[in-house]
Amino acid sequence: MIGHLPIISFDTSAHNRLLRDSSRSEAVLAGIKSGLFFRFAGLSIEELVATPDPTIRAALFTYCARLQHGPSDCLYPQNELIRLLIVDHFRNASAFNWTTVDVRGREYEDAIRSRAFVSDQQLTTAQGQDLKGRKTGYKQTFSKPRLHIQEIFEKHQEAPPATLREAISRLQSADAALIWTIGKWVYDRGAETDASKDTITQFIEVCPPFRALIYAMLMSWYNFSVRDPNVGERFNAGGNDQFMSIYLSYCDKFVTADDEQEKSLREIAFLASLETRTYLINASSAIGSRGITSELPSIGSNRTRHVSWFSWILVSLLPLSCPKSEPYRQADGVARSAVNSKLRGSAGCHAGFQVVLGFPEALVVQIVDRNIEVHATTNSL
């Protein structure tokens, strides 16, 4: 949270969906600026820079610039962010506090505002080649042990773990070195040192972004080298999708349009004991003149949260406690559309929620007992 504002972060796929769903994007932008703090992931910015079509790239960064008109910031890409955390811990492990390490990428924020990322085609080409190389190298790294691991299972006439959680449980119960060895491999590169097992174990415990990254790598190890391809639990998110796990600790809600990534990050959040909620934007959702009715995902549910853009906005803006009774009004000066919403509370904290989007023709979105109803009307704001 930033003050009283929940923090929202987008995967690159969600930024792309914002562009593709342009007819509904005004409501999304207004909803974010009405009650959320937007936190850009530097890795997403790098992926947007790699968009080869200059027209699409310019449109994507136009939306990014508009998101900056509300409360926002940007964190560094995963490699620099993790390096900063490691270096700070290495300097003084006893005083380390991950929340006080400055990982804000202000130069990225400035480049979004100035559109510096839009016109540099040479940078786009180089960035695209770098991302492609990372993707290939990541999969190769975690696929190499597969033959050796399968030989071990066959030798002992033992079936591979059917789930990731079972695999990690076996590692932990056997006090296997793999978990802290992966951590050491990352830590030593960042601090340029030869860290001990105790140092790595302690850092994993006190640094949630690093812990999430380790579980993401363990997930890839399980998916590419351990699981039975016929019956084992699958996690097919790619390397960059997994690296997004480091941002989970820095936001309350993480939004993606990639179902494999949402599944993976949701599991990583569970394993790393993070409170972040992941949301999968439902590509099939649509709003017509007759409106739609859908059920909101249950708070605390471990199921995939499939939501439309409108549902996601409303879930994000729903109060975590009994709502205030006074009306809330805010104009979106960028979109030149109006947002007018009113909260009403009742016994048991079953909230009624109404938001009017657009001016003078508008959509009225009402929530009663966690059901959404949408219909057209005239905005009297």
Query: In sequence order, which residues have a C-beta less than 8 Å from that of residue 164 and are 6 or more positions away?
Result: 218, 219, 222, 223, 233, 235, 267, 271
* Rounded percentage of the chain residues whose pLDDT exceeds 90: 50
Note every long-range contact of 130-133, with CB atoms under 8 Å and residues 24 or more positions apart, other chains counting. 131/46, 131/47, 131/50, 131/240
Residue 145 — pLDDT band, cuts 50, 70, 90?
confident
Residue 293 — pLDDT band, cuts 50, 70, 90?
very low
- The CB density around residue 210, as the number of other CB atoms within 10 Å, is 26
- For the chain, the C-alpha Rg in angstroms (whole number) is 22
* Rounded percentage of the chain residues whose pLDDT exceeds 70: 73
pLDDT digits over 234-275, tens only?
998 888 999 999 999 999 999 999 999 999 999 999 999 999
pLDDT digits over 27-65, tens only?
888 888 888 999 999 999 999 999 999 999 999 999 999
Six-digit token string for 174: 């056997």
Range name among 18-22, 37-41, 109-113, 353-357 with the lowest pLDDT average: 353-357
Give the mean pLDDT of the chain.
78
pLDDT of residue 381: 47
Six-digit token string for 24: 């509904």
pLDDT over 60 (residue 363): no
pLDDT of residue 150: 87
pLDDT of residue 156: 86
8 Å CB contact between 335 and 26: yes
Residue 25 — pLDDT band, cuts 50, 70, 90?
confident
pLDDT of residue 287: 27
CA distance 211 to 321: 30
Tell me phi and psi for residue 325, to 5 degrees: -90, -20
pLDDT of residue 175: 62
Range name among 69-83, 142-156, 193-207, 359-373 with the lowest pLDDT average: 359-373
pLDDT of residue 292: 22
Strand pairing class (72-75; 37-41) = parallel
Cα separation values, 181 from 124, 157, 175, 211, Å:
35, 26, 12, 13
Q: Which residue has the higher pLDDT, 7 or 30?
A: 7
Four-CA torsion 22, 132, 305, 75, nearest 10 degrees: -80
Q: How much is the average pLDDT of 109-134?
A: 90
Residue 362 — pLDDT band, cuts 50, 70, 90?
very low
- The CA angle 353-298-283, to the nearest 5 degrees, is 85
pLDDT of residue 313: 54
8 Å CB contact between 149 and 220: no
pLDDT of residue 323: 34
pLDDT of residue 1: 63
- The CB density around residue 107, as the number of other CB atoms within 10 Å, is 12
Q: Which residue has the higher pLDDT, 74 or 230?
A: 74
Note every long-range contact of 360-366, with CB atoms under 8 Å and residues 24 or more positions apart, other chains counting. 362/338, 363/27, 363/287, 363/291, 363/310, 365/310, 365/314
Tell me phi and psi for residue 253, to 5 degrees: -135, 130
Query: In sequence order, which residues have a C-beta less than 8 Å from that of residue 294 and are 6 or more positions away?
Result: 285, 308, 311, 371, 372
pLDDT of residue 318: 46
Tell me phi and psi for residue 376, to 5 degrees: -80, 150
pLDDT digits over 152-178, tens only?
888 888 889 999 999 999 888 876 788
8 Å CB contact between 354 and 373: no
pLDDT of residue 324: 32
pLDDT digits over 210-241, tens only?
999 999 999 999 999 898 888 889 998 888 99
